[in-house]
Chain A
Amino acid sequence: MVRKNKGYITLFLLPTVVLFIIVYAVSIVILFGTSFTEWSSGRKPVFIGLANYIQLFTDDSDFRKSFLNTGVWVLLQSTIHVAIGTVFAIILNMKEFYWKFARTVYMFPNIISGAAVGMLFLCMLNPDFGAVNSIVRLFGNADYAQNWFMDYTTAFFSVTMTWLPYAAVVTILILAEIAAIPESLFESARIDGASELKINFYIILPMLRNIIGTCVILAGTSMLQKMDIIMMTTGGGPGNETMNLPIYIYKTALMENNFGYSNSVGVFLIGFGLVFVLLCRNLFRIGSSQN
């Protein structure tokens, strides 16, 4: 049977292999290859060794700011964001009257297009008619007109708030994991007289190590591709206040046509992601059995 099917196996795999080559393999070869070249649109790439990388680290304040911002966002997302999602999952798991409603509604900001999320927040935080400023005005300060996204002091915070609280994916993953814990564990703890709070802390939480590790990786790496919301709200500004690596790649590649240079940033971004994933896998000992 195996011999007879060999042709079909190739036939069934070939289209996906072609798709993989077009989208990923070719891209990676171009990315790494041209990251060592000086290359702008209409010209041929010229090999310049490590010059792009050296410039990135010694003489590029926009890159440093983008790297720093990306790092801070990865850190916030893999800690606070995951913590919010985990706590919410544990609360929802008590299955009180609101739990299904809350679970559904929490997902809304995660399921809609990032461009639309950006637009929602752009409206909410509009200095003239935005809901946030209107609420502040209700409480006395009638002239309050904070320009959240364009003011140096608030821009970073405002952009962060468009994703930090919205941890529905974490919540859903953790709820699924809790549902898989055998009921007998809780029973025996209850018989021993443990309170619900103690059960949450000493039984459920330790069982969640693997999935929390996975969530940390997912949440952290999602920050390596955040572009749509930033493009919609601040465009990386004011100045380079909210610039991150994806926005920086977009700017150098498609607005300055500095392809070789932007691809060296791309290589750096991939490396950054790999280091982060490996670090988390070790930290949470993902893959090894519980305890």
Chain B
Amino acid sequence: MRILRKGLVVLKYAFVLLIILLSLGPFLWVLMASFKTNAEILNNSLGWPKSFRFSNYVMAFKIAPLSRFYINSVIVGIFGTLLNLLLLGMAGYVLARFQFRFKNLLMGAFSLSLLIPGAAMLQPLYLTVNTLGLYDKVVGLIIVYAGFGLPVSLYILSSYFLTIPKEMEESAYLDGASFIQTFFRIILPISKPGFGTAGVMQFLLCWNEFQFAIILTTGNQSRTLPLALYYFKSQFASDYGVMFAATMVVIIPSILVYILLQKQVVSGLAAGAVKG
């Protein structure tokens, strides 16, 4: 019994160590390699770099129009999030607060969207975006991503609105505030935590999305960062260090957002799952 318990403890630590190694290992190894020269990478794949030089990063921005992709990603991330939050904030508020005809139908339709794998919509969305004249435009991506975040944002925001006591609005109405004033002046400010959670999830979606970015854009004018890795894989291939640097450039913002806003990410994931 004693031996069994000791064995379990050893097994536990081995498991934890393995998980940490698998999660951190690839990331740290590529980080190290991003400072190495080609020769170092080939001959000293596992060791420390001789010096921490940033020339690979500089080269990465020269070989691929990474700065263009970066700007696109930032624009898509910010506006995809703002659009999603504004629309779903308004809709979520009305759905949380008022009774009206077709409400259940609407809720049902919105949550059905969770059951559709994105890949099934590849060609239809391509056609729609093309018909609207938004193909290869950043605006097209912003609208499509705002739509993809619809079910999760709606759920997070309307559950948050439900926690706000009705008296808040009633006293605002008594003071003569209009519907729109009440929403933007009273409800929005106290719902900041809800918007924070939904916003972080939506930003990560926009920043990381790949499959629709690839079919809705062509040429470098409106491509986002994840695509840089795909399209310049072969250009980078002759210069490994640069390839590693480019990979880090894409990864680091997501990790920073996560570390800084861990609480929002965790509660966002939990909310999204309850919905599923």
Contacts and interface: CB of A to CB of B under 8 A. Distances in A.
Given A120-B26, A123-B244, A2 B98 contact: yes
A22 interface: yes
Interface in A106-161: 106-109, 111-116, 118-124, 128-131, 134-135, 138
Interface string B178-192: 011001000000000
A30 B124 contact: yes
A273 B115 contact: yes
A248 B244 CA distance: 29
B229 A115 contact: yes
B143 A113 contact: no
Interface in A10-32: 12-13, 15-17, 19-20, 22-28, 30-31
Contacts of B8: 197
A254 B122 contact: yes
B276 A217 contact: yes
Nearest to B272: A218
B276 A218 contact: yes
Interface string A205-217: 0000001001101
Main secondary structure on A side of the interface with B:
helix
Contacts of A221: 117, 276
A250 B115 contact: no
Interface centre among B19, B118, B251, B266 (most CB of A within 10 A): B19
A75 interface: no
B27 interface: yes
A281 to B, nearest CB: 11
A22 B130 CA distance: 12
A266 B119 contact: yes
Contacts of A108: 23-24, 27, 255, 258
B29 interface: yes
B120 A128 contact: no
A274 interface: yes
A262 B123 contact: yes
Interface residues of A, number: 92
Interface residues of B, number: 95
B273 A131 contact: no
Contact of B229 (A8, A13, A84, A119): A119
Residue among B109, B146, B208, B244 having the largest count of chain A Cβ atoms under 10 Å = B208
Nearest to B208: A113
Nearest to B121: A27
Contacts of A262: 122-123
Contacts of A250: 119, 122, 211, 215
B90 A16 contact: yes
A225 B247 CA distance: 22
Nearest to B262: A104
Interface in B18-47: 19-20, 22-27, 29-30, 33, 41-42, 45-46
A51 interface: no
B150 A266 contact: no
B215 A254 contact: yes
13 contacts: A5-B98, A15-B87, A28-B124, A84-B19, A106-B23, A115-B208, A124-B29, A124-B30, A172-B270, A221-B276, A231-B214, A270-B116, A277-B115
